[in-house]
Structure 1
Amino acid sequence: LLTAQSESELAAVLSHEIAHVTQHHLARMIAGQQGDSLASMAAIAIAILAARNNPQASQAAITSMQAHAMQRQLDFTRTHEQEADRIGLDILQKSNFNIHAMPEFLDRLQKATRLLEGNMPGYLRTHPITSERIADIENRVQKQSYRLIADSLDFQLVRTKLIGGQKTAVDAVAYFNDALGAQKHGNPIAQRYGLVSALLRNNEVERAAQELATLRRQSRDDPAARNNPMIETLAGQVKRAAMNDTDALAFYHAAVQNHPQHRALIYDYADLLLSSDQAETAVKLLTEQLIRHPSDTTLYDLQARGYNLLGKRFEQHQALAYSHAWQGNLHAAIEQLELAKQAGGSFYQLSTIESDLRELREMVDAHGRK
């Protein structure tokens, strides 16, 4: 996200990855590797038999087989990348993004790889960028007119938050102060959002509140900013940092009504409720949210905190078990379910636990057989 200089560039990466999924590239690669493995085993068997008469010829055969397997892997990667580029470009265009962003982004990544050498990120190791790939995409887009697509405010806010998060609090405050003071290229609403966030991290709560008020005034004439959930979440954090929990609770309650699907608001509101001796309200809120988002581990963790405060040990361990299970930590999930059994519950609750335990143990056994 930080490498992308526009929302269209980020969309180009996502469309490329979507193409990998829709074309089943991973499954096709695994199937190809399985076929190569059978051929390799046969070649090794023949080489072992041949070694009785000519050891050097046997070694040459094994080396040739290994080289062939490596070349096959490279061919698979090259073919899949080209296919993902072609289909991803079509997805990008149908999504009304700037298709010229794809070759621009790849060209910048290619230049970056020359500087990174051994410290190359995983994405670049698994997605080799070549001049041939870039030229092929440029040929596809050159006949299309260049459309400048404005970045959404959400993209700018997220990118601003990440930029600030990579710096110390002091450096982030200085960075956004400089950007706003010099009126550098960029969205002033996003830049002030970054400043408020940095001030909070630096424990400058009073100034953060002042800058938030300025941000609110700036947002009045921008429909995307006027009631933006990310800005609302930040506003709630400022109110909470000011140690006025009553005001903060009222604010969060209204904000969640306006943005019931924005989970950052839900997390903060639930955390504040739990810290304000309102565990029952928090658990009710979290239970409703888990119906919408049954794989959200943060919601389960917050729910477990609420049940703990209410003294409901069965429900606490059950929530922790689901959190671990969705994170793939099956052994920890089983351990929490066993603790839930020990805590006791109704016939229906215990039956649910037994069913979950059977399913998790089957998953552990299946994983162990692989």
Structure 2
Amino acid sequence: MKTSALSMAIKALVLSVSIVGMGSVVPSVAVAGPGLPTLGEGADVSVSAERRLGDSIIRELYRDPDYLDDPVLQDYVQAQWLALLAAARARGELPPELEEHFAWEVLLGRDRSINAFALPGGYLGVHLGLLGVVANRDELASVLAHELSHVTQRHIARLLTQQNRQTPLLLGTMVLAMLAASKNPQAAQALTVGGQALAVQNQLNFSRDMEREADRVGYSLMAPAGFAPQGFVGMFDKLQQANRLNDNGSWPYLRSHPLTTQRVADMQARLPLQAAREVLVPTLEHAMLAARARVLSRPGADMLRQWLAEPRSNGFAQRAPHQQVGAWYAAILAASQLHEPRQARQWLARLQAAVQGDTRAHTLAQWLGAEIELAAGDAAAAWQQLPALGREDRPGLLLRAQIALLLGRAPEMVGPLQTWVSTHPRDASAWQALASISQAQGQTLRAIRAEAEAHAARYDYAAAIDRFKAGQEWARKSSSAQDFVEVSIIDTRLRTVQALAKEQAAAALH
């Protein structure tokens, strides 16, 4: 699939430049003054306007081929993100208005570069390259805490306020268009703005004062959220090493978040001496999920074969337990992608034996076992690999629904999925799973409504309206007994989504 010009623009904006989809297109305007205003001071951009801007960007990211909804990885990152949000709330760093109106959602991208970015409206983007390189959960949390602090301190709104010659949405659109021309070879002849785009890119970076503030606030969230503050120092060590290697292009985080000696020294000084001497050992869960990120980032067949052979390498038995577990996980998933299920099952037995006693790691191994059997075409064996049905995590719920469809066990999943979407109405994948389950049971009206909700959850209001109207039309023509409750819900939701579509269209014009 070819990436559209708009999609290329969005990626140029938020994946290479990292934060803030906005900045002046006038190169002479300064981005930051000598000091930061206090929270809210001068932030003329309303919370609602910032959220609308984030929604407009995220709608395009959902359509990007690199967008990845991997429930296992997303569940891991989202759990850390929510823990940091809770810490920010407890410390008074999260204003109630932001907590209520912002999305606080995580998106994953298959990009193998080491990067993460915060967007307007409380969205967080994480590249698989970052997940694959961080040594432990605490290093990952340090990046998330830093990005969260950019949002809670309203750095995006401050930049917009400083450059308020144009409205945020128009400004974002203009920057996107310029960056599209500079990133898309097919558009090069249309606009010759390479130098201008570079100037814009330089202005989109946060000021050094904002970076230091995000460091300080982010660091203060680590311990209250259950993470070791040493994670900040460990991540900074990685960034410093990349700087010394002159940044080969795989570290866009360095360009959007310049690492200064002063910032490094500040983080090191904040760490107590005893803590500085402690070595953070990765959990088995982190080792497994870092391996998953590396494999799912599409590294190519040669790398997959290298990972497949790693557990047979010399000295493997002498490696630390977390290193062995990570290598087995990567080998199993690589074998599955290379269509070698027999080898995948052999390594799975080793992995499951190694993680006995670690509840979370054991669950991950069970999900992986179900995945490889599903990929091998054995749905019955996949079902047997699943943990016992209880309180379902999102990854287990969606995997169970997928397997149930193949086994003709769709009725078992209706209740769990409906319960889930009632408490997680913005989970597009869960809505889509419910649509498939409902269709398999012959519940066409409910399937159509679930499809509409999936589109609405990703801000594709035009598609959602189309499906809601299709549901109304089906209900009018159907001769079977009607689910009047479902019809009433469709009528109500159609009016709601039509209103949201009008707001979306009006915002795009301003």
Cα deviation digits, residues 189-248 of structure 1 (max 9, x gap): 22212212222222222222222222222233x4346x6221110122344456544443
CA distance in 2, matches of 1:346, 1:218: 50
Match of 1:192 in 2: 328
Higher relative contact order (CA 8 A, sep 6+): 2
Match of 1:92 in 2: 222
Runs ≥4 in structure 1, deviation > 6 angstroms?
Answer: 73-76
Alignment CA distance shift 1:163-1:307 (3 Å)? same
> In structure 1, which of residues 193, 197, 201 is the aligned counterpart of residue 337 of structure 2?
201
Identity across matched positions, percent? 24
**Residue 340 of structure 1, CA deviation:** 0.7
Match of 1:232 in 2: 366
Which amino acid counterpart does residue 92 of structure 1 have in structure 2?
A: M
Q: How many residues align?
A: 332
- Determine if contact 2:133/2:290 at 8 Å carries over to the other structure: no
Match of 2:304 in 1: 172
- Determine if contact 1:169/1:199 at 8 Å carries over to the other structure: no
CA distance in 1, matches of 2:455, 2:468: 10
- Determine if contact 2:307/2:330 at 8 Å carries over to the other structure: no
> In structure 1, which of residues 296, 319, 335 is the aligned counterpart of residue 450 of structure 2?
319
The structure with more helix, counted as a fraction of residues: 1
Match of 1:156 in 2: 287
**Residue 332 of structure 1, CA deviation:** 0.6
Which amino acid counterpart does residue 288 of structure 1 have in structure 2?
A: T
- Determine if contact 1:270/1:285 at 8 Å carries over to the other structure: no
Q: Secondary structure at the match of 2:279?
A: coil
**Residue 323 of structure 1, CA deviation:** 0.4
Which amino acid counterpart does residue 300 of structure 2 have in structure 1?
A: T
Name the TM-score, length of structure 1 as normaliser. Answer: 0.78
Q: Secondary structure at the match of 1:257?
A: coil
Cα deviation digits, residues 144-197 of structure 1 (max 9, x gap): 641222222221111011223343355324324325533256521222122122
**Residue 142 of structure 1, CA deviation:** 6.7
Match of 2:463 in 1: 332
In structure 2, stretches of 5+ residues that fail to align are: 1-130, 168-199, 476-481
CA distance in 1, matches of 2:384, 2:370: 10
- Determine if contact 1:304/1:315 at 8 Å carries over to the other structure: yes
Which amino acid counterpart does residue 497 of structure 2 have in structure 1?
A: L
Is 2:307 aligned against 1:210?
no
Task: Provide the alpha-carbon RMSD of the alignment.
Answer: 3.1
Match of 1:56 in 2: none
- Determine if contact 1:274/1:282 at 8 Å carries over to the other structure: no
Is 2:362 aligned against 1:362?
no
CA distance in 2, matches of 1:237, 1:103: 36
Structure having the higher Rg: 1
> In structure 2, which of residues 154, 157, 162 is the aligned counterpart of residue 24 of structure 1?
154
Moved more, 293-302 or 323-332: 293-302
Which amino acid counterpart does residue 305 of structure 1 have in structure 2?
A: S
**Residue 135 of structure 1, CA deviation:** 3.0
**Residue 139 of structure 1, CA deviation:** 3.4
Q: Secondary structure at the match of 2:389?
A: helix
In structure 1, stretches of 5+ residues that fail to align are: 39-69
> In structure 1, which of residues 196, 201, 223 is the aligned counterpart of residue 358 of structure 2?
223
Q: Secondary structure at the match of 1:109?
A: helix
Alignment CA distance shift 1:124-1:363 (3 Å)? farther
Alignment CA distance shift 1:311-1:81 (3 Å)? same
Alignment CA distance shift 1:256-1:169 (3 Å)? farther
- Determine if contact 2:146/2:217 at 8 Å carries over to the other structure: yes
Name the TM-score, length of structure 2 as normaliser. Answer: 0.58
Alignment CA distance shift 1:302-1:145 (3 Å)? closer
Cα deviation digits, residues 300-347 of structure 1 (max 9, x gap): 111111222233222121111110111111111111111111110444
Which amino acid counterpart does residue 136 of structure 1 have in structure 2?
A: D
